[in-house]
């Protein structure tokens, strides 16, 4: 970032933070981040974690933190993978931790950590755990991941991995210093069409990639206000304090791999535009009349605008659109669009489509193309993953691939630079929205190594030796 641009950002931040944000506290984190990421980018990396292969682990001993929603299913999936030993399960609610254990394959004997707020630290302190799997509310992701790495553990952390630019740098710096993997749990990178298009891109089917799109459009409004869905209404808290693309990674992760971001290209700058809120404020008022004790704290909140559209320009001149809407009544869409100089592909609306020229392929042609470009990981594990499930099998495939990399001493598919780059869209979009959609530079968490880093090997040209215990 040059000094002129940096000074503009600082000036506009000082003038606009209070007025433009409309009271959203998250913007302050983005304001403070400007100097932070400028200074961090100028520092040399302690160690480049891209392509790093940690020593092999014959047995991967895992501790889980958070078993309310996603975490419970992860405990079950992992328990069926060869070479995995579930050593600990942590949740503030004993019934949740014990409930997760009931679904495991027999033979695991985890210790439960449910007695106090910082019980998770006791689990991270153990010498007989290799991997901490974090599926807690967003605000806890970075503190838990950093602590676990500092105590000698690899970490898998749910999305987004961080809420602020400062937290993104904390993850990067800690992973580099400890040489411990920080793996973002972006399951959509392992969905079958996304991996198909990644393989097609690698083999030149699309030509030069020009533009990609991704989204997370999912009507979660009722769930956000539910007293049972999210512990202590934590997701409602996020949507009533921050105004931007808070959940970018489902759409961004797969197209980042297709574009080889952090490995040959990088995100350069971002602009973000947000609609007003037409849904959540009205829902809060309606619920307040029925349950003042629960919803009174939200009576004067500025709820997040319903639709966010963020656009990124890459260093090589390509563009990415990322959308986020979890409050309007629309059909589910995790838009995945790849557009190149020779062809394009799109999922959502379904069915999946591919075009060469100005018309979509016929179904028979598409089936043949899928057979030709189906990647090795799908041929090897696709049927098994679909059987064990988790969003159609992609969750299981993600967990299996993580364990296979750790057991074979292979670089992981999604490293700490991906965790930081994909997550930073949240605070950067908040800043842009608060400043009339002005552009803001995206930090280079690789500190220049993106120019020489190699593409990720998610398609399984190596290993794949780990079995599943049925």
pTM for the whole structure: 0.94
- Name the domain count of the chain: 1
Does residue 197 belong to any structural domain of this protein? yes
pLDDT confidence of residue 32: 53
Residue 125's pLDDT band, with cuts at 50, 70 and 90, is very high
pLDDT confidence of residue 335: 98
Mean pLDDT, rounded, for 280-290 = 96
CB 9 within 8 A of CB 440: yes
pLDDT confidence of residue 365: 96
Range of the domain at 429: 3-42+189-376+415-451
pLDDT confidence of residue 450: 98
pLDDT confidence of residue 13: 43
Residue 23's pLDDT band, with cuts at 50, 70 and 90, is low
CB atoms within 10 A of CB 152: 14
pLDDT confidence of residue 45: 87
CB 458 within 8 A of CB 413: yes
Mean pLDDT, rounded, for 152-174 = 97
Does residue 126 belong to any structural domain of this protein? no
pLDDT confidence of residue 22: 46
pLDDT confidence of residue 4: 40
Q: What is the pLDDT of residues 389-443, one digit of tens each?
A: 999 999 999 999 999 999 999 999 999 999 999 999 999 999 999 999 999 999 9
CB 69 within 8 A of CB 93: no
Q: What is the pLDDT of residues 233-274, one digit of tens each?
A: 999 999 999 999 999 999 999 999 999 999 999 999 999 999
pLDDT confidence of residue 172: 98
Angle between helices 3-21 and 26-41 (to 10 degrees): 170
Is the pLDDT assigned to residue 33 strictly greater than 70?
A: no
CB atoms within 10 A of CB 186: 26
pLDDT confidence of residue 37: 64
Rounded to the nearest 10°, the torsion over CA 21, 26, 32, 35 is -90
Q: Is 311 helix (H, G, I), strand (E, B) or coil?
A: strand
pLDDT confidence of residue 28: 44
pLDDT confidence of residue 29: 52
pLDDT confidence of residue 8: 43
Would you state the structure tokens that stand for residue 300, as one six-digit string? 């004067």
pLDDT confidence of residue 25: 57
Is the pLDDT assigned to residue 17 strictly greater than 50?
A: no
Mean pLDDT of all residues in the chain?
92
Rounded alpha-carbon distances, angstroms, from residue 306 to 232, 246, 323, 330: 22, 11, 10, 11
Residue 38's pLDDT band, with cuts at 50, 70 and 90, is low
Is the pLDDT assigned to residue 110 strictly greater than 70?
A: yes
269: Cα within 13 Å, side-chain hemisphere:
13
- Element at 388 (helix H, strand E): helix 376-388
The residue ranges of DSSP E strands in 45-136, in sequence order, are 60-65, 84-90, 111-113, 131-134
- How far apart, in whole angstroms, are the C-alpha atoms of residue 166 and residue 225? 29
Residue 7's pLDDT band, with cuts at 50, 70 and 90, is very low
Angle between helices 416-423 and 249-258 (to 10 degrees): 130
pLDDT confidence of residue 21: 41
- Please choose, from the candidates 49, 439, 410, the residue with its C-alpha nearest in 3D space to the C-alpha of residue 267: 439
Does residue 77 belong to any structural domain of this protein? no
pLDDT confidence of residue 35: 61
CATH number, domain containing residue 329: 3.30.360.10
Non-local CB neighbours of 133 within 8 Å, separated by 6+ positions? 62, 63, 64, 65, 71, 74, 78, 155, 156
More confident residue, 463 or 418: 418
- Element at 143 (helix H, strand E): helix 141-150
Q: What is the pLDDT of residues 357-389, one digit of tens each?
A: 999 999 999 999 999 999 999 999 999 999 999
Is the pLDDT assigned to residue 343 strictly greater than 70?
A: yes
- How far apart, in whole angstroms, are the C-alpha atoms of residue 380 and residue 140? 35
Does residue 243 belong to any structural domain of this protein? yes
268-295 burial string, b = 16+ CB within 10 Å, else e?
A: bbbbbebeebebbbebbeeeeeeeeeeb
Is the pLDDT assigned to residue 9 strictly greater than 80?
A: no
Residue 459's pLDDT band, with cuts at 50, 70 and 90, is confident
Does residue 71 belong to any structural domain of this protein? no
- How far apart, in whole angstroms, are the C-alpha atoms of residue 131 and residue 402? 10
Residue 27's pLDDT band, with cuts at 50, 70 and 90, is low
Is the pLDDT assigned to residue 279 strictly greater than 60?
A: yes
Is the pLDDT assigned to residue 60 strictly greater than 60?
A: yes
Does residue 242 belong to any structural domain of this protein? yes
């Amino acid at each position: 970032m040059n000094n002129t641009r940096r000074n503009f950002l600082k000036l506009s931040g000082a003038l606009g933070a209070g007025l433009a944000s409309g009271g959203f506290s998250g913007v302050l984190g983005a304001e403070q981040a400007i100097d932070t990421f400028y200074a961090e980018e100028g520092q040399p990396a302690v160690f480049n974690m891209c392509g790093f292969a940690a020593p092999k682990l014959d047995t991967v001993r895992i501790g889980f933190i958070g078993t309310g929603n996603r975490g419970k299913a992860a405990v079950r999936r992992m328990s069926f993978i060869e070479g995995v030993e579930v050593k600990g399960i942590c949740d503030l609610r004993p019934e949740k931790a014990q409930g997760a254990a009931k679904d495991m394959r027999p033979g695991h004997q985890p210790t439960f950590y449910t007695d106090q707020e910082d019980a998770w630290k006791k689990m991270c302190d153990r010498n007989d755990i290799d991997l901490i799997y974090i599926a807690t509310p967003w605000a806890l992701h970075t503190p838990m991941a950093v602590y676990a790495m500092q105590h000698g553990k690899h970490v898998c952390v749910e999305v987004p991995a961080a809420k602020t630019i400062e937290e993104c740098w904390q993850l990067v710096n800690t992973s580099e210093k400890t040489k411990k993997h920080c793996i973002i749990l972006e399951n959509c990178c392992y969905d079958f069409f996304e991996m198909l298009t990644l393989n097609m891109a690698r083999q030149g089917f699309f030509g030069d990639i020009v533009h990609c799109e991704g989204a997370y459009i999912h009507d979660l409004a009722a769930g956000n206000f539910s007293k049972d869905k999210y512990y202590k209404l934590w997701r409602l808290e996020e949507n009533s304090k921050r105004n931007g693309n808070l959940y970018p990674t489902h759409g961004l992760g797969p197209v980042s791999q297709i574009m080889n971001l952090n490995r040959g290209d990088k995100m350069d700058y971002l602009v973000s535009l947000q609609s007003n809120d037409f849904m959540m404020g009205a829902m809060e008022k309606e619920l307040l009349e029925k349950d003042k004790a629960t919803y009174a704290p939200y009576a004067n909140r500025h709820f997040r605008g319903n639709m966010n559209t963020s656009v990124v320009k890459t260093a090589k001149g390509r563009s990415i659109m990322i959308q986020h809407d979890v409050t309007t009544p629309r059909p589910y869409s995790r838009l995945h669009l790849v557009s190149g100089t020779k062809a394009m592909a799109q999922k959502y609306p379904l069915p999946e489509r591919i075009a060469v020229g100005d018309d979509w392929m016929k179904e028979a042609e598409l089936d043949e193309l899928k057979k030709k470009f189906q990647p090795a990981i799908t041929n090897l594990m696709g049927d098994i993953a679909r059987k064990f499930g988790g969003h159609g099998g992609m969750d299981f495939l993600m967990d299996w691939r993580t364990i296979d990399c750790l057991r074979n001493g292979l670089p992981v598919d999604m490293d700490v630079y991906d965790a930081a780059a994909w997550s930073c869209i949240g605070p950067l979009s908040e800043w842009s929205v608060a400043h009339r959609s002005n552009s803001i530079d995206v930090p280079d968490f690789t500190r220049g190594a993106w120019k020489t880093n190699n593409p990720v090997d998610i398609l399984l040209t190596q290993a794949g030796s780990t079995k599943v215990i049925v």
